[in-house]
């Protein structure tokens, strides 16, 4: 049995995915500790996991002393393997300073340039239109790299030594980490990714656009736990959900779930289009959790078959839904595939949403809707199509089967075993030639 440390930013998407990873690895015999900012403490403890706090990287600039403290804490607990969110380069370097076997967790689809694979923030489908040509895809990457390099220059000049990348380079020099070779600025992820540290991508390779992954990238399949506990925030919300599900099971009512994620909230134009569509289709019911924004929405034109709530149990609703209106978050897409729920994707235009939706459309798992381009009437037609198109149903079935094979074949468990004691162990090795506390840490492990 190995001791594995999970270290994440505590945000909902990776938090839930990591809990499913934890469940599988614990069943495989490993001991798990969990490291995250304080905002995740209650959720982690509910999972029965030892919790260790790290700084909230979203709320403060992380200093060298913060990284030293993380390295010291990790060294004290001496995990055999650290699984670290790829968006936490500070923690990655701290783990390297502590001389830990390090593997990164990637919640995005592919973030690297491959032939015919566009950057994630673009709604480009390979082979579709001029933008999807090899020239169009290469130009999209060129534009992306030039833009981020200009921003990098401006931020470095403006913030000086306080600039995040400058701090990370300085800390790398301190611990002897080869940042000139390892920091990869030519990918999609900000501020950079690592060139050789192994990465687990928590999705099915079959969901991505066709490409051959880099040697250090391992797809381990989607991490969806259908038994996930989802606690209601209001008793009123739970009563509405139960009533909708009851009607769905006892009548011919079609249930549509509006899953807009934890970062993107449906804007007024989308809500107006939904109100219009459901006013015409009285046999449809929509339930959409919108968080605290519910109280500020003008519901004067909201039809009775549209239910806006603060909270809703996403997995329970997807299990019974005839369709889902989604924002393009990849974890919600994975959950829709798990339940073979067809999707109408309305991108919030944030981060990876456009690229994720391009994959949904490419694999015929649903359709896209653009509030800026499409008419409100298109919502009705698109929803009707995704609920009735046999090709979409077959594509969802194929994607679900592909996703299930990762769990059935224990791909995650086998890869982790490879890092711990198999042929992958050397790839997760320590890259530092430390000039600080790490030599003692290294000596204690030999």
Mean pLDDT by 10 residues, the chain (446 residues): 95 92 97 96 94 84 89 96 96 96 96 93 94 96 94 90 92 96 94 94 97 95 89 80 89 89 68 91 92 81 92 92 94 96 87 94 96 87 96 98 97 96 85 56 44
Other Cβ atoms within 10 Å of 354 Cβ, number: 21
Statement to judge: residues 55 and 111 lie in one domain: yes
Q: Is residue 378 part of a domain?
A: yes
CATH number at residue 174: 3.40.50.2000
Q: Is residue 176 part of a domain?
A: yes
Statement to judge: residues 168 and 201 lie in one domain: yes
Q: Is residue 415 part of a domain?
A: yes
Statement to judge: residues 249 and 392 lie in one domain: yes
Q: Is residue 317 part of a domain?
A: yes
Q: How many domains does the chain have?
A: 2
Q: What share of the chain is helix, strand, coil (3-state, %, to 5)?
A: 45, 15, 40
Statement to judge: residues 267 and 213 lie in one domain: no
Which residue(s) pair with 345 in the sheet?
Answer: 326, 368
Each residue of 172-184: b (16+ CB within 10 Å) or e? bebbbbebeebbe
Q: What are the C-alpha distances in Å from 12 to residues 44, 87, 315?
A: 11, 14, 14
pLDDT of residue 204: 98
Q: Is residue 140 part of a domain?
A: no
Which residue(s) pair with 194 in the sheet?
Answer: 183
Backbone angles phi, psi at 12, to 5 degrees: -55, -50
| 152/165 Cα distance (integer angstroms) | 9
Backbone angles phi, psi at 81, to 5 degrees: -155, 135
Statement to judge: residues 49 and 188 lie in one domain: yes
Statement to judge: residues 391 and 418 lie in one domain: no
| 362/399 Cα distance (integer angstroms) | 12
Domain residues for the domain of 421 are: 3-117+164-225+406-444
Statement to judge: residues 197 and 265 lie in one domain: no
Reduced to 3 states (helix: H, G, I; strand: E, B; else coil), residue 325 is: strand
pLDDT of residue 232: 62
Nearby residues of 289 by Cβ (< 8 Å), 6 or more positions away: 237, 258, 259, 260, 309, 310, 311, 312, 314
Statement to judge: residues 201 and 322 lie in one domain: no
Statement to judge: residues 410 and 392 lie in one domain: no
Statement to judge: residues 316 and 419 lie in one domain: no
The Cα diameter of the chain in Å comes to: 71
Statement to judge: residues 302 and 367 lie in one domain: yes
Backbone angles phi, psi at 176, to 5 degrees: 80, 30
pLDDT of residue 259: 86
């Amino acid at each position: 049995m190995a001791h594995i440390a999970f270290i994440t930013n505590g945000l909902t998407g990776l938090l839930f995915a990591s809990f499913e990873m934890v469940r599988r690895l614990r069943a495989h015999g490993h001991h798990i500790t969990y490291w995250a900012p304080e905002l995740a403490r209650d959720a982690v403890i509910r999972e029965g996991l030892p919790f260790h706090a790290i700084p909230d990287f979203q709320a403060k600039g992380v200093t060298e002393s913060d990284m030293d403290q993380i390295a010291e804490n990790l060294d004290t607990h001496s995990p055999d393997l650290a699984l670290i969110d790829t968006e936490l380069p500070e923690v990655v370097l701290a783990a390297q300073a502590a001389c830990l076997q390090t593997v990164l967790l990637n919640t995005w689809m592919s973030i690297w340039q491959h032939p015919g694979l566009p950057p994630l923030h673009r709604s480009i489908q390979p082979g579709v239109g001029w933008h999807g040509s090899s020239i169009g895809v290469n130009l999209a990457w060129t534009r992306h790299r030039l833009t981020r390099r200009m921003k990098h220059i401006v931020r470095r000049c403006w913030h000086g030594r306080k600039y995040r990348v400058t701090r990370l380079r300085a800390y790398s020099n301190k611990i002897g980490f080869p940042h000139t070779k390892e920091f990869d600025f030519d990918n999609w992820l900000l501020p950079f990714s690592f060139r050789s540290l192994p990465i687990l991508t928590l999705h099915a390779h079959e969901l991505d656009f066709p490409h051959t992954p880099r040697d250090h990238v391992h797809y381990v399949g989607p991490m969806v736990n259908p038994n996930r506990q989802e606690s209601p925030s209001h008793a009123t919300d739970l009563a509405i959900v139960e009533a909708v599900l009851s009607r769905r099971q006892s009548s011919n009512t079609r249930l549509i779930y509006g899953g807009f994620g934890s970062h993107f909230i449906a804007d007024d134009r989308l809500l107006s289009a939904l109100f219009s569509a459901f006013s015409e289709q009285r046999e449809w019911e929509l339930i959409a959790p919108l968080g605290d924004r519910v109280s500020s929405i003008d519901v004067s034109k909201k039809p009775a078959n549209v239910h806006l709530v603060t909270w809703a149990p996403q997995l329970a609703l997807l299990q019974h839904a005839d369709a889902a209106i989604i924002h393009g978050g990849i974890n919600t897409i994975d959950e829709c595939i798990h339940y073979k729920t067809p999707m109408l994707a309305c991108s919030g235009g944030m981060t990876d949403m456009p690229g994720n939706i391009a994959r949904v459309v490419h694999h015929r798992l649903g359709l896209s809707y653009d509030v800026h381009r499409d008419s409100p009437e298109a919502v009705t037609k698109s929803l009707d199509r995704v609920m009735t198109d046999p090709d979409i149903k077959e594509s969802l079935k194929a994607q679900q089967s592909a996703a299930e094979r990762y769990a059935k074949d224990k791909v995650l468990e086998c890869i982790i075993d490879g890092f711990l004691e198999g042929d992958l162990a050397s790839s997760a090795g320590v890259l530092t030639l430390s000039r600080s506390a790490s030599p003692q840490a290294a000596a204690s492990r030999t």
